[in-house]
Amino acid sequence: MATLPENNSSIGELLRQLVEDVGHLFRTELRLAQAEVRSNISGLKGGIMAIAVGGVFLLVAMFTLVGAFVGWLTPYVGAGWAAFIVAVVLAVAGMIAISVGSNKLKVTNLAPQRTVASIKQDAQALKGNN
């Protein structure tokens, strides 16, 4: 924690306090970056889950589509069309889920952007360019 120097502090004491404060600032920023990366990674779980659900939908759609083709070959054409419609709907739902999941898995979402901005502000403050 930063402490205010006394009015009669020597240059050595002020430098020591500055080094301690910079070290504390660095450790705090590092903890912030770790927390932000952890938060971003936990957000990836939703993307992975959406891809898994999409994969299941596509697998079910494939089996249903195969059933639809079999149904088409049977004398009861109505059953084949019903299976085909279900397969198309499941395939669209699966592709949408995979698309949403893929967008959530972009690498740029992992960068600790708030921490980077905070570090830039700290650097500006240390330079004296508030």
pTM across the whole model: 0.39
Q: What is the pLDDT of residues 34-53, one digit of tens each?
A: 888 888 787 788 788 889 99
Residue 111: pLDDT band (50, 70, 90) is low
Q: What is the 3-state secondary structure (H, E, C) of the chain?
A: CCCCCCCCCCHHHHHHHHHHHHHHHHHHHHHHHHHHHHHHHHHHHHHHHHHHHHHHHHHHHHHHHHHHHHHHHCCCHHHHHHHHHHHHHHHHHHHHHHHHHHHHCCHHHHCCHHHHHHHHHHHHHHHCCC
